[in-house]
Amino acid sequence: MADEGNDILQKLDLDAGSGPDGPAPNGEDTSPAVGIISQYVKDLSVENPHAPESFQWQDPPQVDVQFNIGSRTLSDELHEVELKITISSKHEAGTAFVVELAYAGLVGMRNLSDDQAHPFLFAEAPRILFPFARRVVADAVRDAGYPPLMLEPIDFNGLYMQQLAARDAGLAEEGAPVGNA
């Protein structure tokens, strides 16, 4: 699998040798490079438990949207970022629909420090993947017989900064040092 990831990165050629760092004297590329290699639906589930009766329900639905971002390392230069979205629409009479989506992307990263890689994996890559996941959700809801559900845009960078601030505040409360040591 690691060799396959390296082959993908070599085919992608993430601006090798360009940038302020350029190639090292020994010819090794030291320039930072990042790119989305591919994206895909990893899992999609649509439940429509009360159809066709639910198409007649008149009360406004309570729509609940849950969102989670995960990342896993496949090799030194290849990572998978996964957006998990769960949406349920409930009425007084019951659940109209539930959509669960795991949408993922392969991210190639070369010559990035952890301080640079982490924000890309948990803020920038989700920002890039989200419009495509949003379309899958809208199509799934429409295909279930309801008007397409267009998720509101999400400020992934803002959420990332909030998560960091909350983590740092939690560490400070525990008496642990905050920031880089």
Q: What is the pLDDT of residues 71-90, one digit of tens each?
A: 999 999 999 999 999 999 99
Measured CA to CA, the distance from residue 23 to residue 8 in angstroms comes to 20
Average pLDDT, the chain: 85
165 or 12, which is more confident?
A: 165
Looking at residue 89, its pLDDT comes to 97
The proportion of the chain whose per-residue pLDDT surpasses 90, expressed as a percent, equals: 70
77 or 9, which is more confident?
A: 77
- What is the token pair recorded at 125? 């890559």
Measured CA to CA, the distance from residue 115 to residue 84 in angstroms comes to 24
Looking at residue 173, its pLDDT comes to 72
DSSP states along 108-132? EEES--HHHHHHIIIIIHHHHHHHH
Is the backbone of residue 175 left (phi > 0), alpha (psi -120 to 50) or beta?
A: left
Task: Name the pairing type of β-strands 78-91 and 94-110.
Answer: antiparallel
Contact 130, 83 (CB under 8 A): yes
For residue 105, pLDDT beyond 60: yes
Looking at residue 18, its pLDDT comes to 43
Locate the DSSP E strands across 48-121.
Answer: 62-75, 78-91, 94-110
Q: How deeply is 16 buried, as exposed, middle or buried, from its count of CB atoms within 10 A (0-12, 13-18, 19+)?
A: middle
Looking at residue 175, its pLDDT comes to 61
How large is the angle between the packed helices 156-174 and 125-143, nearest 10 degrees? 120
Measured CA to CA, the distance from residue 83 to residue 66 in angstroms comes to 11
For residue 16, pLDDT beyond 50: no
Q: What is the mean pLDDT of residues 84-102?
A: 97
Looking at residue 120, its pLDDT comes to 95
- Which 3 state secondary structure label does DSSP give 56? helix
For residue 152, pLDDT beyond 60: yes
10 or 53, which is more confident?
A: 53
For residue 21, pLDDT beyond 80: no
Which domains, from first to last, does the chain contain?
34-174 (3.10.420.10)
